[in-house]
Amino acid sequence: MVADLSQDRSRLGRSSTAELVADILRDRISEGFFRPGQRLSEESISEGLGVSRNTLREAFRLLGHERLLDHKLNRGVFVRLPSAEDVSDLYHVRRVLEGAAVRLAPPPEALAVIKEAVLDAERAAAEDDWQRVGTANIRFHQALVSLNGSPRIDEAMRQLLAELRLVFHVMENPRAFHEPFVDRNRTLLGLIESGPPERAAAYLDDYLDDAERLLIDAYAP
Amino acid sequence: MVADLSQDRSRLGRSSTAELVADILRDRISEGFFRPGQRLSEESISEGLGVSRNTLREAFRLLGHERLLDHKLNRGVFVRLPSAEDVSDLYHVRRVLEGAAVRLAPPPEALAVIKEAVLDAERAAAEDDWQRVGTANIRFHQALVSLNGSPRIDEAMRQLLAELRLVFHVMENPRAFHEPFVDRNRTLLGLIESGPPERAAAYLDDYLDDAERLLIDAYAP
DNA sequence: TCTTGTCGAATTGTTCAACGATTCCTATGT
DNA sequence: ACATAGGAATCGTTGAACAATTCGACAAGA
């Protein structure tokens, strides 16, 4: 009778001002409104958002732990500016997490989400909407990693992709970067559906190697 | 002349009161002084440590993001009490991270750290010091994962093991749990040094499957 | 007896003002 | 040009205050 409301329960506790502020700032950083390297003044932002400095500082801590902000003692918080080593490390983690995902037997309903992301990327590419291509590409890899079925890995991937977005924001033309991977996403999907896991894994490794190389070459922080 | 102090530099920036407080609380939780499920009162702890409530709250946020504390709105912070699903997920992540590590070509100097951990566990087991066996075992797996050479993965593993320690703190006799794995650590080390990576990976999978099963059976949160 | 409503104490959430400490910028002097 | 000494701006931390929320106890009603 008392249907399991234990799921909805998690939603209940999710609304302190500090977390709301963190959500807002995360979105702003993600969309590029705050640029990497930029300093975020406690005074101006707390005033702008209408929250106290203490509450804002709690939000800063949250985002600092997600590696989106860089907290320098007595100097303030800055939007993180990833180094080339950071990019390399991010791709190493991607190889581990995505590689583990494609080696698993994929549940059909999870495949549907991936397929939808591939389709959306293709549609957006046909319309020259490269902003949306990038978003769909991110959704593709997020869904890919979710094949692991692990909440912690999903969360780690979310943070990783948010950090990677910082890299894109300092590049001159991120669109050109995403273009070649629309087709490869579809190929990879096919290998996951039908091919042996090892082939998908090998293809993915090449995929990520190429992406990392392209990115690092074009990246001058 | 100015030897590379770039490593020590990371420690320099690490000294706000909030982070120090977080370090203290992390140690206390890790050693079991604060038990899982226990509520941490803002007033008593801030008074006990001689810091203001605001500073303490910043420390709480940090540990909350490490999944060591559970922040419930308007109810306070509690030492996290992992569920059986959490344990399962933690071991899934371990399989991914440690599995990726043993498939890589191991640099000799990293192997030395692993070997030292194995030896220490064996010595401690011979002396019936099961507390130290547990610590050495954790060091073993931390060193194992560090074969990835990824700072982010190292950090994730650190958090994962800290969370796993919470599980041990609610078990009746964690010592009995660690005992069978002293020998298996040595065997695994041998396979990493000499055997083909796939054999080490297979052995590791069995290892972690057994550990997870034993742990979940004995775990009643 | 069980449920429901209400009150009050205790704790958290948030804000505000203040002061010392640190960093950065600038002007001053050599 | 260079070093140095202020001074402004900002951060780090504190303490107090008040609103909001939770929780337990106790009384009223079915």
pLDDT in tens, A99-119: 999 999 999 899 999 999 999
CB-based contact, A5 to chain B, within 8 Å: no
Q: Which domains does chain B have, with CATH numbers?
A: 15-79 (1.10.10.10), 84-218 (1.20.120.530)
The backbone torsions φ and ψ at residue A41, rounded to the nearest 5 degrees and listed phi first, read: -75, 130
> Does position B11 have pLDDT exceeding 50, yes or no?
no
In the numeric block, which tokens belong to residue B210?
Answer: 């057994």
In A, which residues are within 8 Å of B149 by CB distance? 92
CA atoms of A153 and B191, how far apart (whole Å)? 27
Mean pLDDT of B99-125: 95
A-B CB pairs within 8 A amount to: 69
Residue B12 is predicted with a pLDDT of 40
> Does position B144 have pLDDT exceeding 50, yes or no?
yes
Residue B4 is predicted with a pLDDT of 36
> Does position A14 have pLDDT exceeding 60, yes or no?
no
> Does position B1 have pLDDT exceeding 60, yes or no?
no
pLDDT in tens, B30-49: 999 999 999 999 999 999 98
Is there a contact between A42 and A87 (Cβ–Cβ < 8 Å)? no
pLDDT in tens, A64-91: 989 999 999 889 999 999 999 999 999 9
CA atoms of A95 and A150, how far apart (whole Å)? 16
pLDDT in tens, A117-168: 999 999 999 999 988 999 999 999 999 999 999 999 999 999 999 999 999 9
Q: Which residues share a beta bridge with B70?
A: B78
Contact, B41 CB vs strand D, < 7 Å: no
Percent of chain A with pLDDT over 70: 92
Q: How far is A88 from chain B (nearest CA, A)?
A: 9
Residue A17 is predicted with a pLDDT of 86
Q: Decide if A18 and B92 are in contact by the 8 Å CB cutoff.
A: no
CB-based contact, A154 to chain B, within 8 Å: no
Nearest Cα residue in chain A from B93: A153
CB-based contact, B71 to chain A, within 8 Å: yes
The overall average pLDDT reported for chain A is 89
Residue B7 is predicted with a pLDDT of 39
Is there a contact between B145 and B157 (Cβ–Cβ < 8 Å)? yes
Mean pLDDT of B132-136: 92
In B, which residues are within 8 Å of A90 by CB distance? 152
Q: Is A77 helix (H, G, I), strand (E, B) or coil?
A: strand
- Grade residue A15 by pLDDT with cuts at 50, 70 and 90: low
Q: Decide if A153 and B96 are in contact by the 8 Å CB cutoff.
A: yes
Q: Decide if A150 and B73 are in contact by the 8 Å CB cutoff.
A: no
In the numeric block, which tokens belong to residue A118?
Answer: 């591939």
Which has more pLDDT, B8 or B116?
B116
CA dihedral (A79, A82, A87, A92) positive or negative: negative
In B, which residues are within 8 Å of A152 by CB distance? 89-90, 93, 160
Mean pLDDT of B50-77: 90
Q: What b-and-e string marks burial along B80-100, b requiring 16 or more CB atoms within 10 Å of the CB?
A: bbbeeebbebbbbbbbbbbbb
Contact, B11 CB vs strand D, < 7 Å: no
pLDDT in tens, B150-187: 999 999 999 999 999 999 998 877 677 888 899 999 99
Q: Decide if B92 and A16 are in contact by the 8 Å CB cutoff.
A: no
